[in-house]
Amino acid sequence: ASGGNIDQLAEPTDGAGGSELSAVVGRAGGLADPSGAGEITMYYQPQVAIATGEVVGVEALLRWRHPRRGMVDPEELIRVAEQSAVMRLLTFRVVDDVVAQLARWQAAGVVLRAALNVSVRDLHTGEIADRIAERLARHGVPPQRLQLEITEGALMADPRRVLATITRLHRLGVGIALDDFGTGFSSLQHLRRLPLSEVKVDRSFVLGMTEDADDAAIVTSVVELARALGLRAVAEGVEDERTWRMLHAIGCDAAQGWFYARPMPAEELVAWLARHRPVRPTAGPEAAV
Ligand code: C2E
Ligand code: MG
Ligand code: MG
Ligand code: MG
């Protein structure tokens, strides 16, 4: 039964309207898998302060380990989930997993901020704000430990309701990041009107910035704009040392990328944190040994 279109994963398989996707979303992680749909799990990628090398947080990224298809690309998974009511459940699942993980880290003395991604339609009702508030309270995790990454697509669809949801979360103390900045209908209105704490420079600009003067100009402008507005600028897709140094020269606050670490399971992250030694671009990696 391998191969075939990924959309089949959302098609009914059990005669009752259930699909492989809904089976896997409904099941808590780590249990035996009677449905054969595999396992949904969160990977975590460190975000590092460029000037000091300290870890400032992690981004939670969805992974579906499918028994026949292997790792399903999260963008594909989200696209399929968005076609049905499963998306709402998937987002709740992500919120629950990430907050529970923050509580486990907290109990182990690991103080981290985690960012999670939400999909466009997740913000059209206040439900997600209720869920987040309830989970944080239940686990005793301070709202400041959580950040939501939203894309501009969410704002285009229903600006008033999205703004209401975001404002509630902001008042609760949850940070809000504008993700993939520069790829959508980037509007300066968004930067001005939303209660943002962070702007993420899309990796499509960061990946080529040491080779391409236009990409470098775009990254520089976005970083300067963010900082001028009092927002943290975070670059994603930092794959090498030259990019890291260039971002430091530009004044970008933080970065994530394969140069530092790939996304990894929660258990590996604790070991990575123990091994990680902050390296400052000014001293140079060789001088810091
Ligand atoms: P995103 O939120 O912009 O996440 C950053 C993506 O960049 C991740 O891809 C990450 O693995 C990748 N990345 C990080 N460092 C590097 C690097 O140095 N080089 C390269 N080439 N890539 C790097 P990933 O994990 O495949 O996720 C893709 C997208 O799927 C995310 O983009 C986000 O839009 C969506 N997504 C992931 N998890 C979730 C989730 O839980 N909920 C929702 N709604 N969307 C999610
Ligand atoms: Mg993101
Ligand atoms: Mg992004
Ligand atoms: Mg993206």
Residue with tokens 């529970």: 100
For the Cβ of 198 lying below 6 angstroms from any atom of ligand 1, the answer is no
For the Cβ of 76 lying below 6 angstroms from any atom of ligand 1, the answer is no
In this predicted structure, what is the pLDDT of residue 266? 95
pLDDT tens for the chain, 289 residues long, are 345 677 887 777 766 666 788 888 877 655 556 666 778 899 999 999 999 999 999 999 999 888 888 888 899 889 888 888 889 999 999 999 999 999 999 999 999 999 999 987 899 889 999 999 999 999 999 999 999 999 887 777 778 889 999 999 999 999 999 999 888 776 788 888 899 999 999 999 999 999 999 999 999 999 999 999 999 999 999 999 999 999 999 999 999 999 999 999 999 999 999 999 888 876 554 443 3
Ligand with minimal distance to 256 CA: 1
For the Cβ of 238 lying below 6 angstroms from any atom of ligand 1, the answer is yes
Closest protein CA for atom 26 of ligand 1: 74
In this predicted structure, what is the pLDDT of residue 22? 82
Closest protein CA for atom 29 of ligand 1: 75
Q: Which residues surround ligand 3, an ion (CB under 5 A)?
A: 179-180, 236
In this predicted structure, what is the pLDDT of residue 113? 97
The separation between CA 68 and the C-alpha centre of its own chain, rounded to angstroms, equals: 26
In this predicted structure, what is the pLDDT of residue 287? 40
From the CA of 229, how far away is ligand 1's center (Å)? 25
Closest protein CA for atom 7 of ligand 1: 237
For the Cβ of 119 lying below 6 angstroms from any atom of ligand 1, the answer is yes
Convert 215-275 into a string of H (helix), E (strand) and C (coil).
HHHHHHHHHHHHHHCCCEEEEECCCCHHHHHHHHHHCCCEEECCCCCCCEEHHHHHHHHHH
Which ipTM score applies to this complex? 0.97
Q: Which residues surround ligand 2, an ion (CB under 5 A)?
A: 117, 149, 179
From the CA of 236, how far away is ligand 3's center (Å)? 6
For the Cβ of 225 lying below 6 angstroms from any atom of ligand 1, the answer is no
Alpha helix ranges (H) inside the chain: 20-26, 74-81, 86-107, 127-139, 152-157, 159-172, 188-193, 203-206, 213-228, 241-250, 266-275
In this predicted structure, what is the pLDDT of residue 271? 94
* pTM of the complete model: 0.92
Q: In terms of DSSP bridges, do strands 175-181 and 146-150 run parallel, antiparallel, or are they unpaired?
A: parallel
Element at 41 (helix H, strand E): strand 39-49
Ligand with minimal distance to 237 CA: 1
Ligand with minimal distance to 244 CA: 1
Q: From CA 248, how far away is CA 245, in angstroms rounded?
A: 5
For the Cβ of 236 lying below 6 angstroms from any atom of ligand 1, the answer is yes
